[in-house]
Structure formats: structure tokens, C-alpha cells
Amino acid sequence: MEWKAMKIRIVSLFFLAGVFYGAAVFGQSEGEKLFKQICVACHTIGQGKLIGPDLAGVQQRRSEDWLTRFIRSSQTVIQSGDPVATALFEEYNRIPMPDNNYSDDQIRAIISYIAENSPGGPGAAETGGISPAPGRPLSEAGEANIQAGKNLFEGRTRLNNGGPTCNSCHNVKNDALMGGGALAKDLTDAYSRLGEAGVKAIVGNPPFPAMKQAYQNRPLTETEVFDLTAFLQHADRVRDTQQAKNYRTQLLFSGLGGALVLLLLFGGFWTRSKRGSVNRKIYDRQIKTI
Ligand code: HEC
Ligand code: HEC
């Protein structure tokens, strides 16, 4: 028996176990953590365009200084007239990339994470690139998912972790829906603009400060993200057949319903107050004194 070979094998086994253990315990690097928290909603590394460009090899295309400024505030770079940034902004349908209040070190960590996972980088061979977790494909969504998503969107069903309903900030033009808020973008055609991966990534992991804050400690579940995406896809598909006038009739009906409820309440109050009227009290008192 070749004891020496055996020993090497045992030692390397321990070594490997150590590496896996270390990876499991220490988890992600700072760069990976930030990338997966924010950037992956809009960017892949080596898996193609999402909402923004594929970032594979971006550290070779652009200087570190440019990347740092762009990642911190893309709109500042664009407004300074930078031709590369302006062209990118136009190419990507003028979708503004949100600002990030990161330190130089944090941005450096993100850039090295991108470099490691770009083709040819040490991580890329293992991971094959980075993209948002695909989850269940939307092609499996049915009517029940659309309905569930609609109910979540307008708050008929509460979100599992207690986050605010979507329509407190967003509107979607849809006959089946009550109107929504105007604090953020109308989402009627969000699906066309962002695609399945984009919508899922944004809803599951919002990169926009106001929305991020709303769901930071109250994340949506995977099922909720799936159902909401199914609803947004549906709303987008049928958007040309959705009429503002139906919405108005719906409002009228809910108005009538409200009036009816008020009438009933008021009616009940009225009869009760008549029963307990001042005259009645005086009358009762007089009866008693007799
Ligand atoms: C809401 C979507 C969104 C998020 C989140 C986002 N980006 Fe972007 N990013 C874009 C878009 C869109 C562009 C294209 C330029 C534009 O429209 O301003 C872009 C462009 C870029 C570019 C320039 C790419 C090139 O080819 O030169 C870099 C670098 C970049 N993003 C890095 C990041 C990093 C790092 C993060 C995470 C901290 C991030 N982005 C988060 C949407 C996003
Ligand atoms: C506190 C307000 C708020 C809530 C609640 C909220 N969002 Fe947002 N959302 C925003 C903001 C702000 C943006 C960034 C775009 C903008 O400025 O309108 C955004 C962007 C989006 C986008 C990308 C829009 C686009 O076309 O670029 C999607 C999709 C989206 N939200 C879906 C949802 C869904 C689904 C919910 C419910 C789970 C939700 N949002 C709840 C504020 C909110």
C-alpha cells in the first residue's frame, strides 16, 4: 500500500473540506455581497444583457476612475457630457442606473468581483458567470398566479412579510384593478421594458432607494415575486384592451356601494338616536315621577 499517496490524499481532503468550510462560514466577499444585493437586479456577468449591459470584462473596457464615478452616480457622469456614458444611456432606453453611496474600497471590491467572474477570471470557470437566480420560469404561470399577483398588487392579499402594497406607490392600467399611487412609475408596460428576469430581479431585490427601503426588512417571498411578475406580464399583454372608462364605472359602483354603506350606517344611527331621543328621556322621566 502506498502510504505516502494515501497521506497526500487525506491531507488534500482535509484541505478541501477546510476550503468549503471556510467558504460556507465566511460566506461572500464584500464585492460579491454588494453585487448580489444591488447590481444583479440589472446586470449579469457573462450571461448577456439584462436591464443594463453585461458587465463581463467591463474592467478592461473602462478605467477604474470612470467605473468608480459611474457606479457612484451614473447620471452625474452623463450630465457632465461624457460621450461613452451618454451613448450607453441612450442605448439602454434612458433607464437611469440608481446612485450608490459606496466607499472607494467597496467599489474596488465590486470591480474585482466582476473581474473574477468575467470570462478568463478565476471564478468564471466555476460559476459560468453571474446572473439573477432564475427560479421558476414564468411560462409555468397560470390564471391563478395572475389573480394572486393582482390581489397582492392591490393589497387584497397581504404580503407575507408585511411589506407595503405595490399600489401605494405604483399604478397599473387594468380594468380589474383599483387605481394606484403616482409616487413611482406606472408599471403597465414594465414587463415589455424589463423582461421576465428584469421584473423578477427588481421585485425580489429592489435596487431603487425608496422601494428598497420599503422592503428591506420585509422581503417578498419567491412565490410572491413569481405571482406579481405573472400579473405584470398579463397587465402588459392586455394593456391595449383596458379602458379608462371601465375604471370610471368601477369607481362609480364603488362610490354607490360606499353611499349605500353610509346610508345603512346613518339609518341605523338615526333610528337608534330617535329611540334614545331627548323627548323620550323627558317622557321616561315623567312616567317615572308619576
Ligand atoms: C436599475 C438597474 C441597474 C442597477 C441596479 C445597476 N445598474 Fe449598472 N447600469 C444600468 C443601466 C441601464 C446601464 C446603462 C447606462 C445607463 O442607462 O445609464 C448601466 C451601466 C453600468 C455600467 C457601464 C457598463 C459599460 O459597459 O460601460 C457599469 C460599470 C455598471 N452599470 C455597474 C453597476 C454596478 C456595479 C451596479 C451595482 C452596484 C449597478 N450597475 C447597478 C442599470 C443598473
Ligand atoms: C415606497 C414606494 C414603492 C413601493 C411600495 C413599491 N415600489 Fe416599485 N418602485 C418604486 C420606485 C421609486 C421605483 C423606481 C422608478 C421610479 O422612480 O418610479 C420603483 C420601480 C419599480 C419597478 C421598475 C419600474 C421600471 O419600469 O423601471 C418595478 C417593476 C416595480 N417597482 C415593482 C413593484 C412591485 C411589484 C411592488 C409591490 C411588491 C412595488 N414596486 C412596490 C417605489 C415603490
First to last CA, the chain: 119
State if residue 89 touches ligand 1 by the CB under 6 angstroms criterion: yes
Boundaries of every domain in the chain: 29-127, 138-241, 244-289
Q: 96: CA distance to ligand 1 center in Å?
A: 8
Q: 171: CA distance to ligand 2 center in Å?
A: 10
Residues near ligand 2 (Cβ within 6 A): 164, 166, 168-170, 183-185, 187, 190, 193-194, 199, 202-203, 208, 210-211, 214, 220, 228
Q: Which fold has domain 29-127?
A: Cytochrome Bc1 Complex; Chain D, domain 2 (1.10.760)
Are the folds of 29-127 and 138-241 the same? Answer: yes
Reply yes or no on whether the pLDDT at 13 is more than 60.
Answer: no
Q: 146: CA distance to ligand 1 center in Å?
A: 30
State if residue 58 touches ligand 1 by the CB under 6 angstroms criterion: yes
State if residue 88 touches ligand 1 by the CB under 6 angstroms criterion: yes
Reply yes or no on whether the pLDDT at 266 is more than 60.
Answer: no
The pLDDT, as a whole number, for residue 21 is: 43
- The number of angstroms, rounded, from the C-alpha of 189 to the middle of its chain's C-alpha atoms is 15
- Nearby residues of 155 by Cβ (< 8 Å), 6 or more positions away: 165, 167, 168
**Residue nearest ligand 2's atom 40 by CA:** 166
- Report how far residue 232's alpha carbon sits from residue 222's, in angstroms, rounded to the nearest whole number: 15
Band (pLDDT 50/70/90 cuts) for residue 2 is low
**Residue nearest ligand 1's atom 12 by CA:** 52
State if residue 98 touches ligand 1 by the CB under 6 angstroms criterion: yes
Neighbour count for residue 156 (Cβ, 10 Å): 12
Q: 211: CA distance to ligand 1 center in Å?
A: 18
Band (pLDDT 50/70/90 cuts) for residue 19 is very low
The string of pLDDT tens digits covering residues 116-141 is: 999 988 888 777 788 877 778 899 99
**Does this model's pTM top 0.75?**
no
Band (pLDDT 50/70/90 cuts) for residue 53 is very high
Band (pLDDT 50/70/90 cuts) for residue 30 is very high
Which residue's entry shows cell 412609475? 185
The pLDDT, as a whole number, for residue 132 is: 77
State if residue 166 touches ligand 1 by the CB under 6 angstroms criterion: no
Band (pLDDT 50/70/90 cuts) for residue 246 is very low
- Report how far residue 189's alpha carbon sits from residue 148's, in angstroms, rounded to the nearest whole number: 19
**Residue nearest ligand 2's atom 1 by CA:** 211
CATH architecture under which domain 138-241 falls: Orthogonal Bundle (1.10)
The pLDDT, as a whole number, for residue 127 is: 77
The pLDDT, as a whole number, for residue 106 is: 96
The pLDDT, as a whole number, for residue 278 is: 57
Reply yes or no on whether the pLDDT at 185 is more than 70.
Answer: yes
Reply yes or no on whether the pLDDT at 255 is more than 60.
Answer: no
